Amino acid sequence: MTIDECLVFGKSHCHSAHAKILLAEFLNQNPLELYNHLEEIVPEEKEEQYKKAVLALEEGKPLQYVLQKVNFYGNSFYVDERVLIPRFETEELVEHTIEYIKKYWTTPVDIVDLGCGSGVIGLTLEKKVSTNSVDLIDISKQALEVTKINKERLTSNANLIENDMLENQVKKYDVIISNPPYIKDSEEVEQIVKENEPSIALYAGEDGLDCYRKILNHVKENLKERALIAFEIGKDQAQAITELVKENLDGVRIEVKKDLSERDRMMFIFKNLE
Ligand code: GLN
């Protein structure tokens, strides 16, 4: 098949923009470049890969899983069905956290990313700020297999730990960051999410707060004298999580931040950081 014929095939099964992205990906080309080579023959093996991918998209598989990659904060990460697809809001969480670390610390920090999934948060922070150690914790063995792929891709020194949040962990951190599951068990989510992404990465009990509860119950012993906790949160959860923080930590300052869509989506908890 020629490039042109491949694109025609793609268009008949999925969105033409997606067909273009997929073909360009398999041919290692810029999507716009394809139009300069429409008559070129696509090698058979690439054609097969491409057709398979187009049909997977048609069946409702998310583009990121089909491509097995996602760009997060300027780096390319491997993803598949074993982990949540990193979201744009999480880049905002990382962005603010980088600012705060640079503002409050002049020495390398000890960081832990709880429920690390693909590892995007912790691995990005490791690249962007000066770290003493980066621990990536997840309860899912399968997710940690993906974390490991990304650790190697980004030539990182992070420690991968299979654990339920901070349970039985004694280490003290400067920065604890997490984008935990926070959807209520009964909440409706988009079909493409529900049918493809791991439910363990999405749902967190009747009120969606189970993971924050679990983290905050233990967190006191894992904070250094000066410390920052950074959470991604659901848009209606700021008040309830503030209560949980107050029940578990004295004398901390709490800041809720809105995402670009003006929803309360991040919480920063400052211990002895003024
Ligand atoms: N930390 C990963 C992310 O933000 C995974 C989060 C999760 O599985 N809930 O993409």
Per-residue pLDDT of the chain (274 residues; tens, 9 = 90+): 999 999 999 999 999 999 999 999 999 999 999 999 999 999 999 999 999 999 999 999 999 999 999 999 999 999 999 999 999 999 999 999 999 999 999 999 999 999 999 999 999 999 999 999 999 999 999 999 999 999 999 999 999 999 999 999 999 999 999 999 999 999 999 999 999 999 999 999 999 999 999 999 989 999 999 999 999 999 999 999 999 999 999 999 999 999 999 999 999 999 999 8
- Are residues 209 and 87 in contact, defined by beta-carbon separation less than 8 angstroms? no
CB 234 less than 6 A from any atom of ligand 1: no
Task: Specify the 3-state DSSP secondary structure of 71.
Answer: strand
Alpha carbons within 13 A on the beta-carbon side of 224: 14
Q: Which residues contact 2 (CB under 8 A, 6 or more apart)?
A: 38, 39, 40, 41, 42
| pLDDT at res. 218 | 86
45 CA to centre of ligand 1 in angstroms:
34
Gap from CA of 116 to ligand 1 centroid (Å): 5
Strands 75-77 and 109-114: unpaired
Considering the entire predicted model, what is its pTM?
A: 0.94
Q: How far is CA 162 from CA 111, 114, 181, 264, in A?
A: 16, 10, 16, 30
Whether 264 and 239 have beta carbons less than 8 Å apart is answered as no
146 lines ligand 1 (CB under 6 A): no
**Residue 44, Cα to own-chain centre: how many angstroms?**
34
Nearest CA owner, ligand 1 atom 10: 86
Q: In this predicted structure, what is the pLDDT of residue 274?
A: 87
Asked if 147 and 135 touch (Cβ cutoff 8 Å), the reply is: no
Does ligand 1 come within 6 angstroms of the Cβ of 179? yes
The closest alpha carbon to 216, from 261, 176, 170, belongs to 176
Neighbours of 111 (CB within 10 A): 26
